[in-house]
């Protein structure tokens, strides 16, 4: 589970452990958060370890998969939740450095993890990438983030077809506005309130809501393949 130390990823770690999975919590720089996620799982009798890795570094990603195989004997499910978002900024004002920063994690990182996953996930397994409902909402200010998630969608759908005959499902989860630090940071309260009212269910998503979708794709959803699942309360 990349991006497993905070927010949606952290909740998905807990949910998958509850379903009996041994979990590798992959983090970039927040060791204390990753250790806390591991402690939460192990305190309930589950198995988990924390591993630091830059998801855009192919050697680090390969080493991550090596460690997973050594620790747990193989890889059955890969959840690629690592991602970063820009502060809302019109395209005309964005720097190319900011674009490169977001594409490196969200696109190159998804590619590097998906490549290793395609090589190593065992039959009957699942690869779950993270997209975003921004690709449908097309909110001004999110050009680099939305573009990166559009690339994730395309990678996911093509990889599902490239793994024909392997009995491995490949899907993406596309959350809408969800109450995590990634979403809430830097937004005025009136913007948050407006987005909460936009969905017919009239609230923001919670990490639990998205974790349930991840658990579905990781376990019982064997006939769901090559799809982008929009988990957004009906906002789009």
Q: Which residues are catalytic?
A: 145
The Cα–Cα gap between 135 and 173 comes to 12
Tell me the sheet residues that pair with 174: 230
Q: 3-state SS of the chain?
A: CECCCCHHHHHHHHHHHHCCCCEEEEECCCHHHHHHHHHHHHHCCCCEEEEECCCCCHHHHHHHHHHHHHHHCCEEEEEECCCCCCCCCCHHHCCHHHHHHHHHHHHHHHHHHHHHHHHHEEEEEEEEEECCCHHHHCCCCCHHHHHHHHHHHHHHHHHHHHCCCCCCEEEEEEECCECCHHHHCCCCHHHHHHHHHHCCCCCCECHHHHHHHHHHHHCCCCCCCCCEEEECCCCC
Query: Which pair of tokens denotes residue 119?
Result: 């090589």
The vertex-10 CA angle with 8 and 11, nearest 5°, equals 65
């Amino acid at each position: 589970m990349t991006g497993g130390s905070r927010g949606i990823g952290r909740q998905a770690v807990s949910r998958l452990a509850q379903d009996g999975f041994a979990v590798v919590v992959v983090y970039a720089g927040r060791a204390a958060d990753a250790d806390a996620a591991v402690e939460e799982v192990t305190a309930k009798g589950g198995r988990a370890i924390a591993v630091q890795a830059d998801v855009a570094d192919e050697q680090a990603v390969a080493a991550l998969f090596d460690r997973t195989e050594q620790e747990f004997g193989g890889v059955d499910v890969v959840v690629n939740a690592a991602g970063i978002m820009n502060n809302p900024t019109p395209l005309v004002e964005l720097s190319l450095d900011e674009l490169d920063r977001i594409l490196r994690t969200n696109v190159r990182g998804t590619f590097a993890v998906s490549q290793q996953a395609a090589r190593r996930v065992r039959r009957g397994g699942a690869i779950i990438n993270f997209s975003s409902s921004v690709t449908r909402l097309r909110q001004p200010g999110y050009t680099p983030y939305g573009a990166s998630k559009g690339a994730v969608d395309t990678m996911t759908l093509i990889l599902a077809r490239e793994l024909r005959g392997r009995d491995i499902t490949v899907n993406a989860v596309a959350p809408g506005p969800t109450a995590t630090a990634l979403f809430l940071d830097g937004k005025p309260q009136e913007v948050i309130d407006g987005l909460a009212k936009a969905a017919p269910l009239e609230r923001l998503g919670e990490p639990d809501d998205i974790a349930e979708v991840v658990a579905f794709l990781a376990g019982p959803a064997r006939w769901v393949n090559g799809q982008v699942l929009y988990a957004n309360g009906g906002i789009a």
